[in-house]
Chains A and B, each alone.
Chain A
Amino acid sequence: MLLQIQTTEYIFWFLSFFAVMCACMVVFTNKPVHSVLYLVLTFFAIAGHYVLLNAQFLAVVHIVVYAGAIMVLFLFVIMMLNLNHDTEPVKNNLLRAMAVLAFGTLLVTLVGALKGASIPMRTDGHTEIGMIKRLGDTLFKDYLLPFELSSVLLLAAMVGTVLLGKKEIKS
């Protein structure tokens, strides 16, 4: 049992390190395609965290939706545009200083907000909370209305996209 807990902890630290490193690389690489690929790796690391939390369903859906669909579309656009780093406009120093300042303010705010917060340990949680049966029960019994509303929202978004993407009929 002790051995198992230790292994999980090692995996947790590895995944966390991996996720943060890849997330940093998304920003630091100067090729857009590499950024996208690093972001995909980040998603995989986060999916690993979900598995550690016993949320298998969430992990797989995360991979299918984010890594499998959304990031592929990102890659599509970037490959089609053929962006290279020499076509990227060079930003001047004033703009850079402003960016650093803005981000620094955000960082200070975040640290300040999180400093006082305490993270309670959940002990009442089900070990099967992320399993699909429980998830389905919760979604369709306790949260039926929000679930249906969000599906209507998605439908509206889809209809909107089709409407925007349609060619205008010349009268």
Chain B
Amino acid sequence: MDWGFVIYKAIICVGVFGIALVVAMYSTWWERKFAAYLQDRLGPNRAGPMGLLQPLADGIKMFMKEEIIPNVSNKFLFILGPCLCMLTACMTGVVIPWAKDVMVDGKMYPIQITDINIGILYLLGVVSIGVYGIMIGGWASNNKYSLIGAIRASSQMISYEIAMGLSIISLVILTGTLSFREILEQQDAGLCYAAINPLGFIIFFICALAETNRAPFDLPECETELVGGYHTEYSSMKLGFFLFAEYINMFISSAVMAGLFFGGYNFPWAKELYESMGLNEGDTWITVIGFGVYFVKILLFISLFMWIRWTLPRFRYDQLMNLGWKKLIPLSILNIVLVSVGRYVYTHYFQ
């Protein structure tokens, strides 16, 4: 057994997990600050400087709240619901390469938990399992509002998964690979796939909004109709898990979009910059700079999610379904045709 390898993997796993949790935690703070800015308010400013300790205070409050499990519900499934939500949210970050490889003692170490050659399909698979947490939680609550919320959430997620998968297929046709890492490497020269395949990116972005149950697609927790949606019966940290999973999902989907369509850790004139700094491949600084660039892209996407949430009103349910099935799916099929023709013409006449 190679212990160095085990330790390295453990560090990467804990690192990715920790970053995802911290970013999710501070997304709640940033969401409030951002909303306050848009609505000309101050936002949280009591706990710590600029309200920076607010997420901690929220967490403590969540833990201290009384935990109520309805008598009539199935206890095991009731607890399993939020656990599954958290689990699938954390599992998606596995295939994302966070920075360029780093060299330690003459050996290259990728900053990625694992590079499976079907990374994108794995991502789709985990996303499709994510429905179960919500469905099981909503059903086990034994409450009509929860059940309707859960069914809304899952039908929404299934509907938008199709358009999302189709937009990813257009990207796969373009890149010729299913490996996350290779797609990022192909955008090395500062050219990003959002510029080549803009329609695919827009469809993917809309679907990501719907998959994470963010406004304007937050019908599952539509207060005016459903009390609290699928987590009506939940209290204490189990409710916290549901809310937290949403923020982790937002972080991961931002990372996926920034990676697949905007080059991840690559940026224009990266090579020239590294050369002028006198850095060779495998230097720690390249990894650090690449990670920083990727992180800024992710944060910009998270902010875009929030901007949209506090700008657009919620869709009606039939509008949501019409958009998904009658507009996005035909559009993404059209996009596949366009991309295939474009690729054929490019490889046969311009190379």
Determine if B129 and A56 form an interchain contact, defined as CB atoms under 8 angstroms apart: no
Determine if A40 and B132 form an interchain contact, defined as CB atoms under 8 angstroms apart: yes
Question: Is residue B124 within 8 Å, beta carbon to beta carbon, of the partner chain?
Answer: yes
Determine if B151 and A79 form an interchain contact, defined as CB atoms under 8 angstroms apart: yes
Q: Annotate B105-123 by CB proximity to A: 1 below 8 A, 0 otherwise.
A: 0000000000011100110
- Which residues on B sit within 8 Å (CB–CB) of A63? 125, 128-129
Determine if A76 and B129 form an interchain contact, defined as CB atoms under 8 angstroms apart: no
Determine if B128 and A69 form an interchain contact, defined as CB atoms under 8 angstroms apart: yes
Tell me which residues from 37 to 87 in chain A have a Cβ below 8 Å from any Cβ of chain B: 37, 40, 56-57, 60-61, 63-64, 67-69, 72-73, 75-76, 79-80
Determine if B132 and A76 form an interchain contact, defined as CB atoms under 8 angstroms apart: no
- Which residues on B sit within 8 Å (CB–CB) of A145? none
Given A63-B129, A68-B129, A80-B151, A75 contacting B121 (CB threshold 8 A): no
For the complex, what is the distance from the CA of A56 to the CA of B179, rounded to whole Å?
13
- Which residues on A sit within 8 Å (CB–CB) of B135? 72, 75, 79
Question: Is residue A132 within 8 Å, beta carbon to beta carbon, of the partner chain?
Answer: yes
For the complex, what is the distance from the CA of A67 to the CA of B129, rounded to whole Å?
7
Q: From the candidates B129, B131, B139, B178, name the one contacting A33 in the complex (CB within 8 A).
A: B139
Could you show 24 A-B contacts with beta carbons less than 8 Å apart? A33-B139, A37-B136, A40-B132, A56-B118, A57-B118, A60-B121, A60-B124, A64-B121, A64-B125, A67-B129, A68-B129, A68-B131, A69-B128, A72-B128, A72-B131, A72-B135, A72-B154, A73-B158, A76-B154, A76-B155, A79-B135, A131-B117, A132-B117, A132-B118
Interface residues on B, range: 20 to 34
Determine if B128 and A57 form an interchain contact, defined as CB atoms under 8 angstroms apart: no
For the complex, what is the distance from the CA of A69 to the CA of B159, rounded to whole Å?
10
Question: Is residue B147 within 8 Å, beta carbon to beta carbon, of the partner chain?
Answer: yes
Determine if A64 and B124 form an interchain contact, defined as CB atoms under 8 angstroms apart: yes
Given A64-B121, A68-B131, A56 contacting B151 (CB threshold 8 A): no
For the complex, what is the distance from the CA of A61 to the CA of B77, rounded to whole Å?
26
The smallest beta-carbon distance between A19 and chain B, in angstroms, is 18
Closest partner residue, chain B, to A61 (CB atom): B121
Given A63-B128, A63-B129, A69 contacting B118 (CB threshold 8 A): no
Closest partner residue, chain B, to A40 (CB atom): B132
Q: Annotate B146-189 by CB proximity to A: 1 below 8 A, 0 otherwise.
A: 01001100110010010000000000000000100000000000
